[in-house]
């Protein structure tokens, strides 16, 4: 198995929408499914600064995006929890891999690419995760991410625990 992490190109987006749908059945990510908008709009996010695709044996199998910290209430959790303003932070977002490749290092390689890109710009990586996504939470915690707060986005059902806001310190 040959894995390559490279910048996402527009031609990857239709395949990544398929990968998103395929992995959602087992991961529960994104939490709302079906989405109330085209999956391609989940793959390519508003405020996106960069994105990386994972390619295994010439097939696109996952992605991670980096987005600006949005100007919303949750930004305060990250800024107060890190002591940095929004411009000193970047959000790891839209991160997913085909389910049959989990545990083989593909996700870790994607996450490492996003973190490296953020750090090269002198910024601190942050993210949010639904606690029910236990595999993702474990991946982040094993990688040194720490929880700095919790919040309830409008799309989160009342039956779910508040979303975790995490940071990967320098």
Check residue 157 and give its pLDDT: 87
Check residue 74 and give its pLDDT: 84
Question: Going edge to edge, which strands form the sheet with 59-67?
Answer: 3-7, 48-56, 59-67, 89-97, 124-129, 163-167, 146-151
Check residue 155 and give its pLDDT: 83
The token pair that represents 16 in the structure block: 């990544």
Check residue 72 and give its pLDDT: 82
Q: How many domains does the chain have?
A: 1
Half-sphere exposure of 149 (CA within 13 A, CB side): 15
pLDDT band at 170 (very low <50, low <70, confident <90, very high): confident
Q: Is the pLDDT of residue 73 over 80?
A: no
Check residue 112 and give its pLDDT: 97
Q: Is the pLDDT of residue 118 over 80?
A: yes
Q: Is the pLDDT of residue 23 over 80?
A: yes
Q: What is the CATH number of the domain that holds 70?
A: 3.40.630.30
The token pair that represents 22 in the structure block: 């395929």
Note if the pTM is more than 0.75: yes
For 136-169, the pLDDT digits (tens) are 999 999 999 999 999 998 888 899 999 999 999 9
Identify any residues that bridge with 164 across adjacent strands, giving them in sequence order.
129, 150
For Cα atoms 141, 106, 125, give the angle at the middle one, nearest 5 degrees: 45
- Three-state SS string across 128-146, please? EECCCCHHHHHHHHHCCCE
User: Structural domain of residue 88, as residue ranges?
Assistant: 3-167
Which is it for strands 124-129 and 89-97: parallel, antiparallel or unpaired?
parallel
Check residue 154 and give its pLDDT: 86
């Amino acid at each position: 198995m040959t894995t390559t992490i490279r910048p996402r190109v527009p031609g990857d987006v239709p395949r990544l929408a398929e990968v998103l749908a395929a992995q959602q059945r087992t991961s529960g990510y994104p939490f709302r499914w079906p989405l109330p908008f085209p999956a391609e709009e989940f793959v390519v996010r508003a405020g996106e600064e960069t994105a990386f695709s994972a390619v295994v044996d010439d097939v696109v199998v996952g992605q991670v995006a980096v987005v600006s910290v949005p100007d919303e209430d949750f930004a305060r959790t990250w800024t107060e929890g890190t002591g940095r303003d929004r411009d000193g932070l970047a959000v790891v977002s839209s991160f997913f891999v085909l389910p049959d490749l989990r545990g083989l290092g593909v996700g870790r390689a994607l996450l490492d690419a996003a973190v490296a890109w953020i750090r090269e710009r002198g910024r601190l990586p942050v993210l949010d995760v639904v606690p029910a996504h236990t595999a993702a939470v474990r991946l982040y915690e094993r990688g040194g991410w720490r929880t700095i707060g919790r919040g309830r986005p409008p799309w989160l059902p009342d039956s779910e625990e508040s979303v975790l806001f995490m940071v990967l310190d320098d």
